[in-house]
Structure 1
């Protein structure tokens, strides 16, 4: 559920050209690159690292809105759901998303496309399908505890996209 809500909240709109792909006719959003998805998921799963990153951003920008964005006034706590530990890899935190994505893909909620050549994949793109958006909305209605992830996704996306930069 965390990955579905992450892809839903972090996705950008897709073009009509993307929908020319028969498997993406129902695509409503896309998260481009596995690195971005991994980075957002890391901050989502590790609030201490997120807080540290927000403090670093504040120190660099001096903008009060960075601190305000990081303050948790919602009273929500991370839902108690089954989770796999994130491993520290040679180049930072890394968790294979294949298991979670396989569940979402087999249910027709997301689709993945690889770009590059046969011998070298250059980029992975993760597409949210209409069914995935519907399930995400339905889950939030039936289990409001998952709003925690929606609010955190908004924060980590803003941070990744330059929360403290001048607008």
Structure 2
């Protein structure tokens, strides 16, 4: 018999709050933070790339067809809202208390496990997620409302003529 423990007997690896924060911020629209925390079987992780891809498709439509393409008015904000939501998730991960983090993501380990500690890299990740996420969210809202109101003006002109 071998002296190495079986895969089932090995303890699960600790989930780092810092790594989860950065994965949510940088790779969140691709679901990387979900796969890190919950595994490849997480259906939300597999759904996150959908609005990201649709938003990128919207950007390609604007480049090909111009800014009058109404479908791109709907698609582009999907990318922005997806990025902003993942930035918010990064902020929430980074601000989670060490005990709550370890209770939820590192069960069976001591409440003060180092993986749940807030480090300087975690703080920088939260700060960047706040800055970039707020910017992307405001830009997405502004883009959506601008095109909505331009469309309303065009329709009003058609009615008045």
Pair in the same fold by TM > 0.5: no
Structure 1 or 2, whichever has the larger Rg, is: 2
Looking at secondary structure, tell me which structure has more helix per residue: 2
Looking at secondary structure, tell me which structure has more strand per residue: 1
What's the TM-score once normalised by structure 2's chain length?
0.30
